[in-house]
Amino acid sequence: MSKSRSSSLSAHAAALSSKSTANQSKFFKTLGEDIWKNKIEKINAELFVMTYGVIVQQLCQDLNNDYIKINENLFSMGYNIGVRLIEDFLARTALPRCPNMTMTSEVISKVAFKIFLNITPQIENWNTNRDSFSIILTENPLTEFVELPQDAMKQLWYSNIICGVLKGALEMVQLDCDVNFMTDVLRGDLTTEIKIKLNKILKDEIPLGED
């Protein structure tokens, strides 16, 4: 047990120090797939879609179709999940701190999305500073079989919970980011795009209430 762990750690170190991004990328891909295949308890995606659908439906009902409020609620729901989920992520992957956003983006798409939702979205649209990029969700397990009514198509970000999760999780690793949906196929757009923009790197702090 301890042996396999130390060997996997040295593999980590080798891949992470490697200069070639192609190497890194491949390493993250196998890491994500390996964890998903061997270490994750799974449930039917259909049940997941259905449950999320029920939650959004109830929100629409309770908040009288005020989609701005609904977006906000979905976001904060995700945020609360994200700040907890990151612990599980770090424990499972044993990945060290990413030195730059390029690597962060690779870890998000190839490891995080893989082990939690079993998808590997594309990373695109880097800006010149390389602190902002887009995640293109070619498949989205939250929206299988989902169709929005006409009025919701204009304002509702149905999968906004994902932005919240990303925001919360990134913040826990000291990355203060803006995370927003740009487009969503549910609204009739051609792609589903989430934009992540790094605002600043937070200082290491002792969490509130832990003196």
Backbone phi and psi for residue 124, each to the nearest 5 degrees, phi listed first: -145, -175
Q: How many residues bind other proteins (CB under 8 A)?
A: 49
d(CA 77, CA 40): 23
Give the interface segment with other proteins, choosing from 19-27, 100-108, 111-119, 126-134 (CB under 8 A): 111-119
Question: Of 20 and 149, which CB lies nearer to other proteins in the complex structure?
Answer: 149
- Near other proteins by CB under 8 A: residue from 1, 20, 22, 47: 47
d(CA 204, CA 199): 16
Question: Of 117 and 156, which CB lies nearer to other proteins in the complex structure?
Answer: 117
d(CA 203, CA 175): 9
List the structure tokens of 196: 């992540």
Exposure string of 134-173, with b = 16+ CB inside 10 Å and e = fewer, is bbbbeebbbbeeeebeeebbeebbbbbbbbbbbbbbbbbb
- Near other proteins by CB under 8 A: residue from 32, 101, 110, 116: 116
Residues 66-105 that bind other proteins (CB under 8 A): 66, 68-69, 72-73, 75-77, 79-81, 83-85, 88
β partners of residue 200: 176
Interface map 14-43 toward other proteins (x if CB under 8 A): --------------------------xxxx
**Does 150 help bind other proteins (rule: CB under 8 A)?**
no
Query: To which H or E segment does residue 202 belong?
Result: none
Residues near other proteins, by CB under 8 A: 40-48, 50-52, 54-55, 57-59, 62-64, 66, 68-69, 72-73, 75-77, 79-81, 83-85, 88, 115-118, 141, 144, 161, 168, 171-172, 176, 207-209
